Structures are given as C-alpha cells and as structure tokens.
Structure 1
Amino acid sequence: MDEDNWPDSIRAGQTQQHEPLVRRVLAPNPSPYTFTGTQTWLVGAGSEIAVIDPGPAGSGLSVGDPLQPNDANGEGHVEAILRAVGTAKVTAILCTHTHRDHSPAAAPLKQATGAPIIGCAPLALTDTGPRADSAFDPDYNPDHVLADGEQVTGAGWTLEAVATPGHTSNHLCYALTQSGALFTGDHVMKWSTSVVSPPDGDMAAYMASLQKLYEREDAVYYPAHGPAITKPKQLVRGMIGHRRQRERQILKCLGDGPQAIADMVAVMYKGLDPRLNGAAGRSVLAHLIDLQRRGVTVAEGESWRLIDA
C-alpha cells in the first residue's frame, strides 16, 4: 500500500494489504472529523480473522466507489468487510471505543458472522457541548470487556489490549504481537491530533496514555483515520510537545487577565477551519480543567482566570 499517495490511492470498500497479517477496509464516511473515513482493520491471514473498529452502521456509497466528501453515511461497509473476510471465520470483533464512527457496525457484523464483540467497555454519554467528533453509540453491547494487557488469539495472531484513556475513558489500542503493529484508534493519528472533549475526555489521562505509548517499542501504528505511522516514537514525542505548547499558550492568554474559551481559541488557532472551532474549544476546556485540578486556573462564569492573578 502506497501511503505516499494518500488519499488518492484509497477507495471506500476496497481491501488493501499492509503486511501479511494486516488488511484495511475503508468506510465511506469522510468528514472534517473522520478525514477520509473510518478504517476497519482485519487481522489474520488464515482461517480466523479479527475485525478492529467495524465502523458506522447505515448506508450510502456502493462498494468500490471513490470517496465522496459530502456523503458521510456508510452504505455497504459490513458487506465490504464480509467480502474481504471471504471464506475465513471472524472470531473476534474489537472496538477501540464507542463513538458512532467506530462501533455501530459491530452488531450487524456479529449477526452476520456469529463472532463475539470483544474489547472496550460500553459507554453512552450525553454531551451537551459542541462536539467535533461522533456522538457515543448507545447500543454497543460487548460480550467481553478486555482489561489492560489481556489478549485475544486466533490462527497465527495475538492481539493485546493496551488501555489508552483520554480521548474517551474507554479507549483501547490493540498490539499485534507477531509484527509489532499497534492499532491506535483515535488516540494517535498522523493527520490530526485527537479531540479531548470533557466531561468524558480527560487531558491528564490523555497525556499519560501518550507517555505510555512513547515508552513502548511498537514498529508501526495503524490508526482509525489517516495513513499508517512508520515513526511512532517521533510522532508521539511531537504530540506530547504540542499539548505542552497548547498549555503554555493558555497560560499566556490568561496572563493578560480572565478570558472566555472562544477568545482563547481565536488567538491560539489562527487560520483554523471554522467547522473545527468546536473541537478546538473542547480541547482548550480539557486543558483548563486539567490546570484547575492542579490548582492553576479557576472558572468564573463563562471566563477562566489564573488563581494567583
């Protein structure tokens, strides 16, 4: 698979081989928040297959159609997964977390294959803030929730759960022990930083999870959106630095006096696509809550200020 020609080299519904045990099927749900769409990963080359992040339920494009930026439905994706699986048996359906662009297709895929839904814990949270990513899937019903370090095995492959809360409290990554690959869901992506949206998104947990991945020795990351990451340590180090820089920007803004989040976003995210202002505001809020817990900031109505100011 030629990642250098991304995204021109991919089509919704096509199966693309990344390494002997890893294939990708792209869902037809592109958007400003999902990039080219949700990537469903198939693990296994023999009689048993694991499916990671089966994606959105619903319909829209036909299998094999080019990406359509204005169509975010997801028609035929389960059928595309089944076509890619072929005569093999699906033995595990795993979700990294329960946003609606990741987990809803788990139920119809289970119905079609009989495979158990294994992985992250259920989480159905009502968030009244301006969301930039998908809302939670209230119908997700796993047969088994994996603990950190717990493994799922099949013919020729082993996947190990790596707990990475932050983007959501139930987020898991999955390590393929045979090749050193890590399926990172929305926790680490190359095309964009992850949205950390309170009340469930937690910046301190997110930073700790980034540090956890930095200390690992994974060879490649396969995220749920965007190209593979072939230099994972370098990217994670940069992401940690980026979040620390954002924190410094917030402290600088508040050094001039109390400010509303929207005013800080305007200063910190110059030139940002207006459709992403909500995402930026949620991440700023997550930083402010983290600083508040550390005794640095306090909220006053719609504004925030430094405690010693």
Structure 2
Amino acid sequence: MASVRVFLSYAHDSPEHSADVRTLWTLLRERGIDARLDLPAAERRTDWPAWMRRQIDRADFVLVIASPEYRRTADGLAERHERRGVRFEAMELVEELYRDHESGTRKIVPVVLPGRTRDDVPRFLRPYSTTYVEVGELSGVGVERLLRLLTDQPSVVGVELGEPPAFGPRLPVATPVPGTPVPGTPTAAPRRVWVGAGLAAAVAAGAWVYAAVIAPDVDGSKAPGSGVPVVIRFEAPVDGEPLASADRAVGTVTGPPGVRLWAVEETADERFHPRGRCAVKETRWECPAFTPRTPVGGKFEYHVVAVDDAADEALSRVGPRGLLRLPVVTADRFMDDVINAG
C-alpha cells in the first residue's frame, strides 16, 4: 500500500503552537503517513512560493492547522507584510476549491489541535458547514480519527440494505365486485360470515373451495415440514348466501402446533393473488374476504392453504395486488379427508 502524502499548512502563532504542529508531524510520520512541513526545508536556501505550490500540488491531503493567526491572515485581516507564507498557501488552497470544489473539499482538511476551536478555522474552509477533524490530544489515541480519514479506514461502515417488511391488513377488507353492495353505504346489505356444517355446501354455492398445501417438497396431506396431517374444515353459508357475498370465511383446522394458513385466489394460469394471512386460534381459523378478482371458467378458485417458511415469506412480500407462482401440492386422499371431515 502506497504511503499517503500530507502537507501541513500552519501559521507560526507562537513557539508553543509551532511545537504542537511539530509533534503532530512526528506522530503522523511514525504511523506511516508521509507528512511534510516547512521545518526541514528551512534548513537550506529555498524558493518558498515554488516550494509551497509543489507541496500542495503533490499532496494527497493538505491539513490546515487552525489557529487565530492563520484565520486572521486567510480572512484578509493581516497587514501586507505579515505572514506572507500563510497568505500565499491560503490563496493556493482557495484556487484548489474554486477549480474543483468537490475534490478540493476532500483534499483540504481543517485540523483543530488541543486548546483551539472551530472558530480558528479560516472562513474559506466553512468551519460551521463542513467537516473538520479535532485532535483531542497529541498522542496515538488522539490522532486516530485523523489517521482513519487519511487512510480511508472509517470507524463506522454502512449496513447492508435488507428487504422492507410486508404487512397485511389488521382486519380483513372485502374487495367489491360489480353488482356487489359496498359495506358502509346506505344501500349496503348486511354481509354474511360462513357458518354451518360442511364443505360440500360451499361448493354447491358456486365456488371451487378447497384446502391445499403450498410447499415444494411435502405431500399435500401434511403440514409443511412437519409430517403431521392437516385437516381444514370450511363452515357453510347462512340461508344459502352466495360465497361471493361473504366478507370472511371461518372454519376449523387440526394439525401441528403453529400451523400457518393463507387465503389465496388462483388465476387461470395457476398463479396466486394473496388475499391475506388467516388468523388461527387453537383449532379455529378466520380468513379474509372471498370476493373474487379473477374468474376461472366462469367461477373463481378460493383456497385456504397451509404454507411453509418460504411460501409464507413470498406471499407476504408480493402483497394483495401481486401475483405469485408457487408449487402447490394436493392429493386426492387429502381432498377426500377434508370433504369427509366436513
């Protein structure tokens, strides 16, 4: 990994401030950062404007060490004969920002040493609206945040984006069809709940209603993954009320603890509209509205199905307006068991 080159731009406010900058320079170099400042160059005859421009151009980062004198000079408040080096470096840095603001903002990093505040950052670096790095103490621990920035090793990294959850309605909602009164309107007739004694009456009422198991690898007569038979009983309509007029279906189920049921509507091409997860309490279940969306041969197929984990997740994800193709395993023996149980 190539070393990161850094230039320290600072003002000689006082011997104490200069000593702090030198300590920072030493800490960075000891930790693999190719930090540069003016002290070695001052030991020989130097063309300072050329040297400063070269340091800024070649640096990966320029650390502007905040201090009252640096801000006063960069803000144009110093006399013309004062702090020519700081004035020249500040002008070059302003040029960097003006030429490419995004790149310049990444490259030029204000640094606040112990005893200083953001108010010592020169105004052209926008101390209140952009990021600066505060060095709490001149030690290995104190420069960790600065080192992380220079070496692109953030302490906080992003979390992988997951899938948003899908929530069904808390209460079953009926979907009106042409010719069906809408609940809540003055002309709406009372809607019925399926009650009664058997599955055969539901079939006779004009709907294909049956139990199935959605799962790719189990027999239709077993709860997914359990090996325990599931028997789902539908209760018949009151007074011959058509199936499409019921706003929910009710019945009983026997099977393993925790069995999950869904109400789905099958389309002509063997795909499913999820109508909603059924509420199961002990041996009783209640499912959302029967109202059809997709005619199948002049009728519609409404299923109450037991599901495995994968099918439960898939049905939740697509929601009531989606279509889903799932493996459906049914068995004549299972159908016979359900009808006979009814």
TMscore range, shorter length: under 0.3
- The structure that has the greater radius of gyration is 2
- The TM-score, its normalising length taken from structure 1, stands at 0.24
- The TM-score, its normalising length taken from structure 2, stands at 0.22
Q: Which has the higher contact order (CA 8 A, sep 6+)?
A: 2
